[in-house]
Each structure stands twice: as structure tokens, then as C-alpha cells.
Amino acid sequence: MTDTGLSLREVTAASVRAICALKVADSQSGYVAANAVSIAQAYFQPTAAFKAAYADEAPVGFIMWRPDSRDPDRVMILWRFMIDRDHQSKGYGKAALNLWLQQRREDGIQLVTTSVVLGPASPLNFYRAIGFDLTGEIRPNGESVLQLSL
Ligand SMILES: CC(C)(COP(=O)(O)OP(=O)(O)OC[C@H]1O[C@@H](n2cnc3c(N)ncnc32)[C@H](O)[C@@H]1OP(=O)(O)O)[C@@H](O)C(=O)NCCC(=O)NCCS
């Protein structure tokens, strides 16, 4: 747990509805899939993993990742990440991501990649503040790739 009271926990049968009820702001909805869609996609992607972010006992966010199939022991793809609209701008996003990065570092991961949609509500500068840099690569879906060495 971090000093903001943030922890990453398994999604369970008891919590899955609450996690699926977490929502981003309307202006952000084009930047990340709904959590229910992410969990459904993970069902078909056996290497994917996900956790819920809790602030003390309150569910506030969701994070999902998978190894890069080209270099699975070394490179992790941060696939989805969101903090509920009612809990944003309280430091939970930064705390959750830094905790997740620390756990990946402990797993021996050396590089994390992610990709973002650019635009007015883009999380690009959030990721840059954490230490991610743009690689210059643009994915076929138009998203810009970011990476962070651990
Ligand atoms: C991006 C997101 C996770 C940030 O979560 P959050 O809890 O609001 O972020 P925090 O409160 O921890 O903010 C941490 C820092 O980033 C800054 N920040 C947050 N969102 C930002 C943004 N979109 N652009 C620039 N800076 C941002 C904050 O000002 C804060 O700066 P500080 O440390 O200097 O005070 C959240 O806005 C979100 O869920 N967005 C929609 C989904 C999304 O885009 N996900 C990522 C793509 S998969």
C-alpha cells in the first residue's frame, strides 16, 4: 500500500460489478475502453492480467497489462489504465501506476510500453510526468507509443 492508501487488488466475484461501474469522464471516454470490455478481452488473452486500484477500501480504478509477445520476459505492455471520474486529480493515478511499475520492476521487467490517443483529454502528459517518453512509433490504430525503462 502507498502513502495515499492506494493498493492494487484482485478483481473477485464480489467486486467485479463495482469495478465495471467505474467510469471515466465523458470527455475521456474515447481514450480507454470500459472496464467490462477490458475484462472480457482478458478472457480471450491468456497472458493478460488485471487488478483493481483501491483507495483504502474504495475501488477507484483499473489496470490491465500483458507481456510483449516479441520479448515477454523483458517487456510489459500497459494495456488499460483508468481512474474513476469521481476520484481523479487526487493523486491516485500516479500512486497506482508507480506501485504497478514497482511490482513489474520486482518481477524483472526492464521496459514498459503503452500507447495513447492524442487530443484534448489525452493522458500523454500524465505519462510523461511519470517518466514515459514518446518513441515516435504510431500504431495502426493511430495511437502514439510511449515507453519507460525500469
Ligand atoms: C490519466 C488518469 C489515469 C490520471 O489519473 P488521476 O488520478 O486523475 O491522476 P493524478 O491525480 O494521480 O495526477 C498525477 C499528476 O498527473 C497530472 N495529470 C493528471 N491527468 C493529466 C492529464 N490528462 N494531462 C496532464 N497531466 C495530468 C496531475 O496534474 C498530477 O500532477 P502533479 O503530480 O504535478 O500534481 C485519469 O485521468 C484517467 O483515468 N483518464 C482517462 C483514461 C485514460 O486516459 N487512461 C490512460 C490511457 S489507457
CATH code, 58: 3.40.630.30
Count the residues in the chain. 150
pLDDT at 51: 98
Neighbours of 4 (CB within 10 A): 15
**Which atom, in ligand 1's list, is nearest to the CA of 84?**
39
Number of domains present in the structure of the chain? 1
Which pLDDT band holds residue 137 (cuts at 50, 70, 90)? very high
**Which atom, in ligand 1's list, is nearest to the CA of 95?**
12
Which of 126, 146, 148 has most ligand 1 atoms within 8 Å of its beta carbon, as the pocket-test mutant?
Answer: 126
Report residue 139 as a C-alpha cell.
500504431
- Mean pLDDT to the nearest integer, 101-123: 94
Which of 94, 101, 146 has most ligand 1 atoms within 8 Å of its beta carbon, as the pocket-test mutant?
Answer: 94
pLDDT at 107: 95
- Mean pLDDT to the nearest integer, 117-125: 89
**108 within domain boundaries:** yes
Which pLDDT band holds residue 103 (cuts at 50, 70, 90)? very high
**43 within domain boundaries:** yes
24-28, 85-89, 101-105, range with the lowest pLDDT: 24-28
Domain around 57: 6-149
Question: Cα of 81 to ligand 1 centre, how many Å?
Answer: 10
pLDDT at 120: 85
Please list every protein residue whose CB sits less than 6 Å from any atom of ligand 1: 24, 28, 31-32, 80-83, 88-94, 116, 123, 125-126, 129
pLDDT at 135: 96
Residue among 64, 14, 71 at smallest CA distance from 41 = 64
Closest Cα to atom 10, ligand 1: which residue?
Answer: 91
**64 within domain boundaries:** yes
**91 within domain boundaries:** yes
Q: Is the pTM of this model over 0.75?
A: yes
Question: Cα of 122 to ligand 1 centre, how many Å?
Answer: 9
**41 within domain boundaries:** yes
What mean pLDDT value characterizes the chain? 95
Q: What is the per-residue pLDDT across 36-69, written as a single tens digit (0 to 9) for each?
A: 999 999 999 999 999 999 999 999 999 999 999 9
C-alpha to C-alpha distance for 89 and 109, rounded to whole angstroms? 28
C-alpha to C-alpha distance for 114 and 29, rounded to whole angstroms? 17
Residue type, 29: S
Q: Which residues pair with 147 in a beta bridge?
A: 113, 133
**1 within domain boundaries:** no
